[in-house]
Amino acid sequence: MKKIFLYGEAEKLSNYTVALSGCGAQPVVSRDLDLSHGCDGLLLPGGADLDPALYGQENTASAGIDRQRDEAELELVRRFQTAGRPILGICKGFQVLNVALGGTLVQDLAHPETHRWSEASGDRVHSIRTAAESFLRPLYGAAFAVNSAHHQALDRVAPVLTVTAWAEDGIPEALQAPELGIFAVQFHPERMAFAHRRPDTVDGEAVFRFFLERV
């Protein structure tokens, strides 16, 4: 059984662990980085904002910062990339990958209303379009609906990464570096899969199965 490492606490990452387990993988959730050594792949989950000091900016709109987590996940990216083991980034994890590999972020979208989670409505839903080479294209096609729960976005894209999907307003929605085993999405497939499957989006399970086939 393939073992996938996630940094954090299991009770806070249950949507991710349920999705991985449902696809036949074994999640390993811990704040002990040493436990990542025996794992076959890394999943960088969603969460609050990355510390902007880590990409050379003053804090103008970032909240909920957990510097210990940020530093740990940046170190995990380095370790897994060095070892040639695949990485999947989701929402914050999408942004962490970009920063880890030399990119920067927009700390607050000018018009976040189509992307930001709200207590009243939960996740937003919008369409995205994919490039021909996107890993998402064979899974879902050229255009499809996804959920959304973020207020930050990519600014400068890391040199080794390629953006291969965009929202209708041009916000990047997928990153990849297939030769490095790196794939990432700005949306939340774990909240569109299994018990969280919803009729107004695609099935997020396909993203997890795609990743695990490459582990």
What does residue 65 show for φ and ψ, rounded to 5 degrees? -65, 135
Tell me which of 91, 115, 151, 196 is the catalytic residue.
91
Q: Is 188 an active-site residue?
A: yes
Tell me which of 23, 150, 151, 190 is the catalytic residue.
190
Residue with tokens 């207590």: 119
Q: Is 23 an active-site residue?
A: no
**What residues are paired with 165 via a beta bridge?**
130, 174
End-to-end CA distance of the chain: 11
Tell me which of 115, 126, 188, 196 is the catalytic residue.
188
Q: Is 58 an active-site residue?
A: no
Is residue 202 within 8 A of residue 146, CB to CB? The reply is yes
d(CA 186, CA 38) in angstroms, rounded, equals 27
Coil, helix or strand at residue 148:
strand
Active site (catalytic) residues: 91, 188, 190
